[in-house]
Structure 1
Amino acid sequence: MKIEKQSSRLVTPSYETKPLTPSTCTTITLSPFDRAAGSDHVPIIFAYKAPTPPNSAIDHGLRLVLSDYRVWAGRLIEDKRAVVLNDKGVRFVEATASCTLDEVPCCLGASQATRGLLHYPVPIHDRAMLEPRDLLSIEFDHLGNEYMEKRLVREFSWEGIVNRLRMQKFHSSPHFLAKLKARPSVRCPSGGGYSTYESVVSHVWQKVTRARGASVGEEEISQVGISVNLRTRLVPPIPREYFGNMVLWAFPRTTVHELLSQSLDRVAELVHAAIAQVNNRYARSFADFDSLVEREGRWGELVPTGEMESEVFCPNLEASSWLWLPFDEMDFGSGGPDVFMPSFIPYDGDVVTASQMKGKGGIDVFVCLFEAIMAVFQDIWHAIDEITRVGSLSAVGSPSLIK
């Protein structure tokens, strides 16, 4: 598939529907959760069947939305601790691809504005949603979870890694998900069962570790970094319209031996307990930790674990849930997308889950692994047996390859 770029330009906010044009000197300090999230770019692909609106309509809709989401069009200051709302703009690229939509492997407000609907949800930009307490109380080990000391960061060479990585989509039908969820939930200590996401992450964690085989030692510690949305976990909860990061991570950990010798319900119990710990109490402890580091002037000594130098997570994984994001509502006037997926994310052990488009049920699991490991994982992905033999069951459906 050949892609040719036709044009590239910066699109700036338009205030034609606003009573006043705001200052371009305003600075917004990033919240502790913004800074801990690290700085990374995750491309997302939406594909639509004709007829679609002209690019000029999308350009205009984006300009209107940027007047409310000015952070997108702003710029980070040098130490990346604040954003200047200078309306410098976002990059808008027009390109053509030498393929049909069927040949392609497999920001809500912008789509509404493109369709002329100007009553899209207005964002809340108040970064002081969770202030540190007057008497700081740091109850958890945030140095090692959200941050680590720079002196412990190892040098890493990216050369030669990306060409050996593959990203594939594995579809999980509602029937498969019901079986996967039922297996561990019958032994859930709380009696309420495990969520679909907890069951999927537990399953993938076991299968990827098994597929990695001799490349990981039995006594090595393996962990999954799971992003946890704090909006509904805080007391009081954070409004859905809040435009800013409100995510921390859960880190279920165990030895490779224990991970592979335990039944799925035991692994799900580890995952569930780790996620449950990332609650209001944990978030407030983190806000206090951030305030303490600020007072002591130690930011130069620390780096967010979200900006770790390695693109190889082995023996670990990182998992993100996009299940609650309304990607199927990205309608520019001709209906929702026919194809949605993250682009190639070059991190060994990266896992993203998303709902299937068009309300078909089930979820899609995108996994990035080294090519040889991916071949083994593909063979054992749909085996829910408590002890899985490589190749014992064939995958249901054919996974798509993204390179």
Structure 2
Amino acid sequence: MTDPTTPAGSPAAASASAAAPPAASPPLSELTTLRVGGAARELVQPDSELEIVRTALDVWSTGDDWWVLGGGSNVVAPDDGLDGTVIRLATHGVKRLEGDDPARVHLRVQAGEPWDALVGLTVYNGWSGIEALSGIPGSVGAAPIQNIGAYGQELSQVLIAVDFLDWETGHRLRLTADELGLGYRTSAIKRGRLGIVIAVELELTATTDRVPLSRPVAYAQLADALGVQVGEAAPIREVREAVLRLRAGKGMVLDAADADSVSAGSFFTNPIVEESVARTLPADLPRWPVEQDDDTPLVLPLGYEPAPRPRDTRPRHVKLSAAWLIERAGIHRGFALPGSHAAISSKHTLALTNRGGATALEIEQLAEFVRTRVASEFGVVLQPEPVFLGPSDDLY
């Protein structure tokens, strides 16, 4: 389904004007939570859907390099800045769409809306589905690109579709969750489909209970904090409060008074390896099975006799704890390379922090040191979670 938006590179696109003249570009260290990076050549900040389209087509028609920035919470910007245009989304708004089922809440959210503000709104209204994603910094538009997840919930569980401006065609598309190919901290967009997320559609659950409940709690640490069993629900507001406490205890909630929150969040994803590889690693390394697709019908027609199911010969996969690997490789909380202003968080080994005046190069050097130590000790190569903007060393 497409909207006949003017394709990039056409005369009309070339003459389209942006929402406002390019602003004097501040250093990207002022626009990102890690607080590193020089200035972009140009910064534009469209504040409506129409201006996003006009601005993007105008920028794309020049053939210059461009980048999209939301809340700046999951990026590492280069020290020398960016020789091109940064499109910083400044759109806001949440709209509830009409539907036949009062128990289903269908929302359309602007890409520039702060993610945690959205979660707070849904919890206030008693709509469950993203309460365990409380405290995650950044914008709504970035959420499907990364398929954000925490404490047993993932965006993929509630995402319906995104409104997407496609760079290749210049058309505005509605991409369903299936078309986005969502996986563990990834999507088709992150894997290389260029364009801009304009808005996001979610489907949450509404209840008529006097005390609205969450979805079943799926993470043991969160269940313990709430005093419930895994698989049980809890008051939705208590779930949000518990998640915020847990994240704050790890320095994962933005706080001007907490130096450990000057980070890009978890810097490495939990590695997924074949089960045969996991068996060669220490037995006390935390690991979780990764679900695999199963084409067997869940409901069989009456009288249907299924053929004997062949033995599944596909390699089994498990997810490993990156934090455990880092710690057991001898890298402790607060660790820093000599003379560097970048350090491992004092609260959580998955976060790389700017202790004041760190450069992007120092962040990259620390990340590469961590990766080298873990690979040398366990033969597992950690993958970074943040996006590296612009040119950088081929560390990854």
The two structures share one fold, judged by TM-score above 0.5:
no
- TM-score using structure 2 length: 0.24
Q: Which has the higher contact order (CA 8 A, sep 6+)?
A: 1
